[in-house]
Structure 1
C-alpha cells in the first residue's frame, strides 16, 4: 500500500486539504506543503502495518469507501493508505 503522511493533529485542517492531497501525484519520498501543512509520500507499507496499527487504542481508523482509501490518525499525523492497484494490462 502507498502511504501519504499529512502532518497535523487538526482534523478540520486535514479535511480541508484531503481532496487535493488524494488527487495529487507524489514521487516516492517527495514532500510538499499544502495550505501550510507538510504532506509527504512515505513509501510503501506492508499489509501487516495496517493490521498492527489498527489494534492500537490511540489510533483512529477511517475509511473513504468511494476512493478505496484508509486513513489512520495517531498523534499529530494522518496517514492515507492507498491499496495497490492490480495491473489491468496483461
Structure 2
C-alpha cells in the first residue's frame, strides 16, 4: 500500500478512497476520491480494502475543484485537518 493508491473500503462498496497517509500503528488516512461537500480525510483500518479497478476520473481543462492526481495531496486540506487532531 502506497500514498495515492485507490481502494474500495469494503467489498461491494461503490465509492473509492485515496490513501493520503500511512501511520505506523496500522491506520491509514484516506479521503473520498470524488470531491464535494462533506469530503474530508479520515483514519481507518485497511482490513477490508479492495483495490479499485476503475480509472480515476479525468479532469476537464477548466475544472480546478477536481481531485488531485494519484500520489499528490492537497497539503492545505490535509495539514489543517491534522493540525486540528494534533492540537493540545
TM superposition score normalised by structure 2:
0.25
Work out which structure has the larger RCO, using CA pairs closer than 8 Å and 6 or more positions apart in sequence: 1
Q: Looking at secondary structure, tell me which structure has more helix per residue.
A: 1
Q: Looking at secondary structure, tell me which structure has more strand per residue.
A: 1
